Structure 1
Amino acid sequence: MKTKGLAIAFVLMAQLGFSQQITMDEAIIVDTIATKEKLNFEFIDKSPVRASLYSAILPGAGQIYNKKWWKAPIAWGLIGTGIGFTSYYNGLQNKFRSAYLAELDGRTHEYSGILNAEQLAVYQDEYKRNRDYAMALTILAYILNIVDATVDAHLFSIKNDPDFTFQPIVIQDQMSFQPAIGLNINFKF
């Protein structure tokens, strides 16, 4: 029993005796090589704060910063269309408001004899409501533009990561034996 314990202690001492000391330079080289082999892709990081700021100053600029060129015209189109509708409905609301006020004062206006004061008030309210909806949707598109740029900047490094992939896949349904479309997600640790 004593000899077994002595033999185990001797083996352990021998292992410690043959260990090597690694210098700091060698450790850095080994760590760098292991990191390159493990990652094996170019890590590019985008700043979410910078992308948000660019999109807040000029809609679409954050998408261009994130190298999502095709999203910038969509942001410009949504916000520009919203501004156009807001301006259009604001002009109509102002036109019917001045006609309504002229009708109440007894002056002639563009719709004299065609629409009465109550009808002018209804049109004025309708165009005001449409203007407000267009303005709200424009603000929503502006906010979504900023959020999209921020999220894309956060997720920019994931799309270059070979350890996380997803792709569409066609599989056979187990019940009906018909092909079905699915999504294949792979995580590598």
Structure 2
Amino acid sequence: MRIKHLFLLFFGIVTTLAHAQDDELDVRVQDTVVATTGTILDYDPLAPSKAAFYSAVLPGLGQAYNRKYWKIPIVYAGIGTGIYFWIQQDQEYDRFRNAFKRRLAGFTDDEFFGDGETPLVSNDRLIDAQRQAQKNKDISLIVAVAFYLINIVDANVDAHLRQYNINDDLSLTPQLQIDPVSTQASYGLSLRFNFGQR
């Protein structure tokens, strides 16, 4: 029984606060959207396309267009990391491949052969190392391309959300009503969606 009373008390407080906030938010802004910076901007339907195009041309430029400058180092760190590891693995692949090709030509002077008659690294290990380096190159390239694509999608979505219309056309209001005859509480949620012009 105590849980029911606590729930009704909580629901009543939430309902009261929701109605108090609804009264405070009664001011509507028409044909304008309040951006996250707190300034009122005219709605630009091409802003997401511009941001995506800018990011496609030069990674990070769409984030600068959206004034999210803190995201630019993240974009370049992701793309740069993928490119760095691709270059590193490409050099490793060339090392293993050149040593293997020299062994096939009959030379015993590669860096993996050592000083003695028997090689330190076998031919099979050189083949496996080439395959592993190629696989790592592919993964590094995928990471760089993924960060590039995420950069474009992020700029587009951020431009959409920057212009997101926040008004009370859509509201979810908890309601608590007490029946005067039976003194039983009835509670529920109402969803209101207005299709009127902005």
Q: Provide the TM-score with structure 1 as the length reference.
A: 0.63
Higher relative contact order (CA 8 A, sep 6+): 2
How much has 1:134 moved relative to structure 2?
Answer: 0.8
Query: Which residue number corresponds to residue 141 of structure 1?
Result: 147
Change (3 A) 1:59 1:154: same
Query: Which residue number corresponds to residue 128 of structure 2?
Result: 122
Corresponding pairs, count: 133
Q: Greater CA radius of gyration, 1 or 2? A: 1
Match of 2:41 among 43, 50, 59: 43
Equivalents in 2 of 1:109, 1:67: separation in Å? 54
8 A Cα contact 1:103 1:116, kept in partner? no
SS in 1 for 2:69: coil
How much has 1:80 moved relative to structure 2?
Answer: 0.7
How much has 1:45 moved relative to structure 2?
Answer: 3.9
Q: Which runs of 5+ in 1 are unaligned?
A: 1-36, 166-185
- 1:167-187 superposed Cα distances (whole Å, 9 cap, x missing partner): xxxxxxxxxxxxxxxxxxx98
- Once the two structures are superposed, the pairs formed by residues 11-30 of structure 1 within 5 Å of their partners are none
1:84 pairs with 2:84 = yes
How much has 1:90 moved relative to structure 2?
Answer: 0.9
Change (3 A) 1:187 1:96: farther
CA RMSD of aligned residues (A): 2.4
Query: Which residue number corresponds to residue 64 of structure 1?
Result: 64
Match of 1:161 among 166, 180, 185: 166
Equivalents in 1 of 2:42, 2:192: separation in Å? 20
8 A Cα contact 1:45 1:156, kept in partner? no
Q: Provide the TM-score with structure 2 as the length reference.
A: 0.60
Identity of aligned residues (%): 35
Q: Normalized per residue, which structure has more helix?
A: 1
Equivalents in 2 of 1:43, 1:187: separation in Å? 26
